[in-house]
Structure 1
Amino acid sequence: MKSFFKYCAIIFIVFLSIDFQAIAQKKKSDAQGNLFSAGYAAAFIGGLYDAWYPYSALKQHGDFGLGAPARLDGELIMLNGKLYKTEYTGKTIPVTAADSTPYAVVCFFHATKVYKPGKQLAKGQLFKYLDSVLTNQNGIYAIHINGNFKYVKTRAFPPVGQKPYLPLAAMLDKQRFFEFNSIKGDLVGYKLPAFMEGPHIAGYHFHFLSADKASGGHIIDFVADDVTVEVDVLSSYTMQLPQTPDFNNFDFKKDRKEEIKSVENGKKQ
């Protein structure tokens, strides 16, 4: 009799495991082609740096993306489902799922288009090349660029102190820059249309991760040497908003377009 009950318990656990796996696969299938945002870009740029969204939950919405760590402590990148943080010291470390983020955008990356420029291109030149092949001006594109770079310049911010936090554009003097020559690695990012400005960062936005996972940061400049460009064309986007007093009282009436440009480029516009 004991053997019978033990057998039934084993069968139940097996079926339960299969159900959970099926549910997880369905969630991933439902999220395919979707850009997920934890947080609102303009609010983050405006000073909402306190973490609220768990990385464990973020991984349910994607395996590829970028964002910021708690209290603006560096730059965040997700590649192949793994999270890394580049600190203001320049050190890049893995991030544990127990931590949280104030802002991040992710998707389940599945390349639908692959391009090989076949020549050395500076950042502006590569973006013009991408514009020539990604012709839908209102398209949502996830972009993975892998290969050899002649030059890469990145940045990261130090953690903020006490509240009230300054807007990010007022903290440009605190950012730290890192430069690399002849380095192999990955650019993870997006090209988003103008109509998404505000909730997201429109245009190109990339973070870098070196092949040895020791260096990274928000992209300021680069020269691509021999790279492959993979593109996932997304068809929808969803957003989880913070349920915090800071977000509830945030002033969205201020136009932060110029601030976002300054933060993206690492200098006043």
Structure 2
Amino acid sequence: MRVTITLLAAIFFTAVSYAQVAHNNLFTVGIGAGLIGGLYDGNYPYSSLKQHGNFGLGAPDKLDGELVVFQGRIYQTQHSGKTFPVDDRQLTPFAMVNFFKADKKIAINSALNKEGLLHLLDSVLTNVNGMYAIHISGKFNYIKTRAFPPVKAHDHTPLAAMLPLQHFFEFNNVQGDLIGYRLPSFMDNTNISGYHFHFLAAQKDAGGHIIDVKAENITIEIDVLDSYTVHVPPSRDFEQFDFKKNRAEDIKSVERGDKKQ
């Protein structure tokens, strides 16, 4: 009887420990530098991605837009601007997710441009080497997003070379959510360091990668993460990819949506 109780206790505490890790863990499919360098072919199903998080962002198979994971559902914004829930059987080449649980919540009732918003976040996220999931909801005076067009299978054109092909979308006085992260420099190349946000409109009919934002009457929720896991793609293209090349400037250009230094 004592053995049974001990075994059950061990199983219980293992389950609790796993749940705590899962809620503080960033799960990444693929390598950020790989996506930037042209690894666009999907390799990981959305149905499996949902097992590792209910909040996050990523890229669709062979691009054609941007992904956002919000409240356990995955949405794709295509290069046409069309936004819709994805089929769970489809694949992603790169995505990052976590089970979002806010550790801190802040209400902002003043107008902020993108620079002001990031400065505010920097003042709150004091651990420069910390990993943070960030949810910003409310009213936005202005939002500009982008989405890349689709490519053919095994087309490895670097993403920075596709910047002229971006499609941009602008929204005024829109309600919605910013889903994103601030990740430290030591995660660069494996992931994408700094701030990275995708947008999803309240009606779930518009979105994309954030290029510019002006916010008003927003709520900021912060989830502090303490570990990360990387799923390495099981593909020949990945096995032969050159990760020695420095893609830091390409990453910055793709994040901003332009080639400016």
Do the structures match in fold with TM over 0.5?
yes
Distance 1:156 1:25 in 2: 39
Residue 131 of structure 1 aligns with which residue?
Answer: 122
Taking the aligned partners of 2:21 and 2:187, their CA distance within structure 1 comes to 22
**Residue 155 of structure 1 contacts residue 177 of structure 1 at CA under 8 Å; is this kept in 2?**
yes
Q: Please, which of 132, 151, 158 is the counterpart of residue 142 of structure 2?
A: 151
Kindly provide the CA deviation profile for residues 98-133 of structure 1, in whole angstroms up to 9, marking residues without a partner as x: 111000000000001011232100011100001011
Q: Check the 8 A contact 1:149/1:224 in 2, yes or no.
A: yes
For 1:245 and 1:65, the matched residues in 2 are separated by 27
- In structure 2, which of residues 43, 62, 76 is the aligned counterpart of residue 71 of structure 1? 62
Corresponding residue of 1:3: none
Structure 1 vs Structure 2 CA RMSD: 1.6
Aligned partners of 1:136 and 1:144: how far apart in 2?
18
Seen in structure 2, the aligned counterparts of structure 1 residues 93 and 24 have a Cα distance that, compared at 3 Å, is: farther
Structure 2 CA distance, aligned partners of 1:161 and 1:49? 9
Counterpart of 1:106? 97
One-letter identity of the residue aligned with 1:173: P
Q: Distance in 2 between matches of 1:216 and 1:249?
A: 33
* Contact 1:75-1:85 at 8 Å conserved across structures: yes
Offset, 1:24: 8.9
Deviation string 1:58-89 (CA, Å, 9 cap, x unpaired) is: 01100000000000111000000000000000
Q: Counterpart of 2:110 in structure 1: which amino acid?
A: K
Distance 1:181 1:24, change over 3 A: farther
Cα distance in 2 between the residues matched to 1:142 and 1:85: 20
Pairs within 5 Å for 1:42-53 = 42-53=33-44
Q: Is 1:262 matched with 2:241?
A: no
Q: Which residue of the partner structure matches residue 231 of structure 1?
A: 222
Structure 2 residue matching 1:127: 3-state secondary structure: helix
The 8 Å contact of residues 28 and 108 in structure 1, kept in 2 or not, is answered as no
Per-residue Cα deviation, 1:211-237 (whole angstroms, up to 9, x for no partner): 000000000001001100000000100
Cα separation, 1, equivalents of 2:222 and 2:87 = 28
Q: 1:94 aligns with which of 85, 96, 101?
A: 85
Amino acid at match of 1:214: D
Contact 2:62–2:153 (8 Å) recurs in 1: no
Q: Which consecutive unaligned segments of at least 5 residues does structure 1 have?
A: 1-22
3-state SS of the aligned residue for 2:121?
helix
Counterpart amino acid of 1:197? Answer: D
Counterparts of 1:113 and 1:242, CA distance in 2? 34
Matching residue of 2:183: 192
| TM superposition score normalised by structure 2 | 0.92
Q: Distance in 2 between matches of 1:58 and 1:69?
A: 12
Aligned residues, how many? 248
Runs of 4+ off more than 2 Å:
23-30, 161-165
Match for residue 60 of structure 1? 51
Q: Does 1:248 align with 2:239?
A: yes
Query: Which of 106, 110, 116 lines up with 2:107 in the alignment?
Result: 116
Secondary structure of the 2:89 match is: coil
User: Does residue 12 of structure 2 align to residue 32 of structure 1?
Assistant: no
* Percent identity (aligned): 57
Tell me the residue number matched to 1:8: none
C-alpha separation in 2, matches of 1:24 and 1:214: 38
Tell whether the 8 Å contact from 2:76 to 2:84 is kept in structure 1 after alignment: yes
SS of residue paired to 2:139: strand
SS at match of 1:124: helix
2:183·2:192 contact (CA, 8 Å) conserved in 1? yes
Letter in 1 for 2:222: V
